[in-house]
Structures are given as structure tokens and as C-alpha cells.
Structure 1
Amino acid sequence: MIAMIKKAHFHWLKAEPTLIEEIAACGFFISVTPEVCYRQRDRKLLSHVPIGQLLLETDGPWPFAGPFADVPTPPLLLCHSLREVALFYHQDMKTAANTIVANTKRLYG
């Protein structure tokens, strides 16, 4: 059945590394939220996802913790997530942003 699926977006995925790797091996997209800025679990997820399959989201409105406690969740929070992603993948923000935008266009057109 999974071979029939051409594109998929795993929204705010919380899964074991082996499942994340299987999803990535299928070429599907996985997104992270601003939690990537302060949760180790979300940073570990990045180590199993090629940047060419990564998407960003705010999932707003959602009450985040950490540095975003009591802060509304507008799209501007994506800048914080992008900074973390760029650091993780050892890229400048512009390169990481271009990749994320290209990923979004490949998935959603």
C-alpha cells in the first residue's frame, strides 16, 4: 500500500527513530514546529530527516513552552525554527530557507 503513496507530509511527527527513518526512506516529508528550538526530542528528529525532506510549521494556535510560553503562534515563529534548522544542518539561514521553500513547493505545488 505504501508504494502507492507518492507524497505525504508527516505533521509534527513524534515517533521512534526507526519509524522516522522508514518514512524518510520513502521520500516523504516531515515537519517540525518551534519546539525544535528547545526540545531535545525534536532536535534528535532532525538527525533522521534529510533537509531535502524537511518542512516547518507553527501548528498555531498552539501554546508552546520554553522561550515561547505565553507567546501567540504566528507564522513569524518560523524564523526561530529556521535558525535552529540552519544551525543543525550547518547551513546559513538563506540556504536553509531556500531548501525548505523548495520542499514545500515540491510537496504542495
Structure 2
Amino acid sequence: MVHAAYGYHPEQDVAGKEEREQLFEWILQHASQMVAIGEVGLPYYRRQEAEEKGLVFELEPYLELLERFITMSASLHKPIVLHAVYEDADLVCDLLERHRVKQAHFHWFKGSKKTIQRMISKGYHISITPDVLYEADIRQLAAQYPIELLMVETDGPWPFDGPFEGIRTHPGMIINVIKEIAKIKHISEQEAATALMYNTGQFYRLDIQ
């Protein structure tokens, strides 16, 4: 079964005012059918690409849009799924704290040790992807973050490297991620699978076994 989250991915142009209002109205009309707001956040990679070309990048419209989604998350009492990496994560944490949103899932997160500790202290969740099998920084993140706040994902159809090079992204890769987390955490694969499934069900308020 597919459970939907509604949002607007930040690695694209901000939509016009009329389109944004139509989206917000649509989300409100269908709120009972969604499990979360997302994926929303800030355009780290888009901004980085623009700045490398010497272009001026206006972040403010993205911050305004994100804050609107965060306030919607708070008012609807829905979790929020976030695209916020490196220094952007601190900006997002500021907004989450301002609006007292605690149910936050940082998808495929990367960031500093200070930011990681801040997120752990607030009880924010992160998800680990297949690159945990070959990326040292993701392995360190998985080791540092409490398993009680971990989930897993593929972010398909993202093309992965290492043992997945040339292989089409598939949900079955999650099994490899779980096994690797078990090794990193020095627990059994069953313990890891049970904990990660429980975390996902609790966070998204799903009845999953």
C-alpha cells in the first residue's frame, strides 16, 4: 500500500502565487488522505550550482514557502518530510523550533556534528539510503544517530554506486540497508528490522507489522 505525502520539492523554481495557493487549498481539501507534508525544504544543490556559476540566488522565496508548509504541518498535526542538508538544516531547525513542530523527518540527511546533535536533542528522525554500504560519512551518521530515530529509504529512482552501480533502484535495496545498519549498530538484523519498522509506523501513524 502506498501512503502519500503532499508538498513541493525545493530543487525547482518556486511556483507563482496563484499556483501556490491552489496547492495549499488542494492539500487542505485532501488532508485526511495524507500521512505527512513533504517532501519540502530548501534548495541546497540548486543554490550551490547557481553560485558556482557566479549567479545570485534568492533564498528568501524558498524560506517563505517552507515556513508556510511548516505552519500547515503544525495546524494539521501532520509530520513533515524535509529536504535540508548541511547548513540548510540549521535554518530548517530554526523554523521547526519557532513553530513547535516536533515530528520532522530529514530525508537523506548530511550535516555537521553540531547539527546532528541538535537534531538528536529535538527528536528529529532521519532516513538512511543504500549509500550507507559505501559512503564513509553516511556510515558515521548511521553510527552516531540513535536507532530509535532512524528510518530507511531508497529515494528511487536515484542511481547509486558501489554494489548498486548500474542497477535500477528498487525497494528491495532496503534489505541491504537494514543489514548494514545492523552491522554498524552491532545488533541482529531482526532487531534492526523490527526497530526501523516500528519507527516508521510510529512516525507516520501507520498500522504496519
Q: How high is the TM-score relative to the length of structure 1?
A: 0.95
Q: Which residue of 1 aligns with 2:109?
A: 13
Are the counterparts in 2 of residues 17 and 48 from structure 1 also a CA contact under 8 Å?
no
1:74 aligned onto 2:167: no
The Cα shift of 1:17 comes to 1.4
Unaligned runs of 5+ in 1: none
- What SS does the corresponding residue of 2:108 show, helix, strand or coil? coil
CA RMSD in angstroms comes to 1.1
Which amino acid is 1:76 matched to? G
CA distance in 2 between counterparts of 1:89 and 1:45 reads: 11
Report the counterpart of residue 65 of structure 1 in structure 2: 161
- Displacement, 1:57? 0.3
Determine the C-alpha separation between the residues in 2 that align with 1:94 and 1:69. 27
Give, in whole Å, the separation in 2 of the partners of 1:9 and 1:94: 23
Alpha-carbon shift at residue 46 of structure 1 (Å): 1.5
The one of the two structures with greater contact order (alpha-carbon pairs below 8 A, sep at least 6) is 1
> How does 1:16-95 map onto structure 2 within 5 Å?
16-95=112-191
Shift of 1:106: 1.3
The answer (yes or no) to whether the contact 1:24–1:48 under 8 Å persists in 2 is: no
Q: Residues of 2 paired with 1:17 and 1:65: CA distance?
A: 25
Bigger Rg over Cα: 2
Q: Percent identity?
A: 38
Paired AA for residue 39 in structure 1? E
The answer as to 2:97 corresponding to 1:2 is yes
Provide the C-alpha distance between the structure 2 equivalents of 1:13 and 1:56, rounded to a whole number of angstroms.
Answer: 11
Q: What's the counterpart of residue 14 of structure 2? A: none
TM-score scaled to structure 2, two decimals? 0.51
**1:37-56 CA distance string (max 9 Å, x none):** 11101001123210000010
Displacement over 6 Å in runs of 4+: none
